[in-house]
């Protein structure tokens, strides 16, 4: 079982998009029993709120449902429980390192680092460009799965 936690600032846009895209990719690959996938925030800003409507809409355009997901903040229990804690941008990594003693177990990585682009996932909060985020997240999640297939 591989346990993956996607993380962003608010857990209402980028990390839930990654969570539900990854669940969809894994299900379509027939590998759902090998994975546990969730998402969380570094901040407390949006705790309890559902996925942001334009992000939900972008997922729905591609037949992906995120009903029932509400934002929550990452905990120490999450740090211990998940194998891969995957951030959307450099600021998320910096926040995570401060929260969890500089990542003693080496669990943090950036989603786009699994692609050939090594950039950050486009943040739609200010740009409102949810299509750019969708493209980054799908590319990152597909590359992540290919990399994970090479792991035991």
List the catalytic residues. Answer: 8, 14, 123
| 9 is a site residue for ligand 4NP (CB under 6 A) | yes
Residues 39, 87 contacting (CB under 8 angstroms): no
Q: For the CB of residue 8, give the shortest distance to ligand 4NP in the complex, in Å.
A: 4
To ligand 4NP, the closest distance from the beta carbon of 46 in angstroms equals 5
**135 belongs to the binding site for ligand 4NP (CB under 6 A):** no
**What's the rounded Cα separation, in Å, for the pair 29 and 123?**
28
- The answer to whether residues 105 and 96 touch, using CB atoms and an 8 Å cutoff, is no
Distance CA 61, CA 34 (A): 27
Does the footprint of ligand 4NP cover residue 13 (CB under 6 A)?
Answer: yes
Residues that bind ligand 4NP (CB under 6 A): 8-14, 45-46, 125
């Amino acid at each position: 079982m591989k346990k993956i936690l996607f993380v962003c600032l608010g857990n209402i846009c980028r990390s839930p998009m990654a969570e539900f895209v990854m669940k969809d990719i894994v299900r379509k690959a027939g590998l759902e029993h090998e994975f546990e996938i969730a998402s969380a925030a570094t901040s407390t800003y949006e705790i309890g709120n559902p996925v942001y409507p334009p992000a939900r809409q972008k997922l729905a355009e591609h037949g992906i449902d995120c009903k029932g997901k509400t934002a929550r903040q990452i905990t120490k229990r999450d740090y211990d429980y998940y194998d891969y804690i995957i951030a959307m941008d450099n600021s998320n990594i910096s926040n995570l390192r401060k929260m969890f003693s500089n990542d003693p177990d080496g669990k943090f990585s950036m989603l786009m680092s699994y692609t050939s682009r090594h950039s950050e996932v486009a943040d739609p909060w200010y740009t409102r460009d949810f299509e750019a985020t969708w493209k980054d997240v799908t590319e990152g999640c597909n590359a992540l799965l290919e990399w994970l297939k090479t792991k035991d």
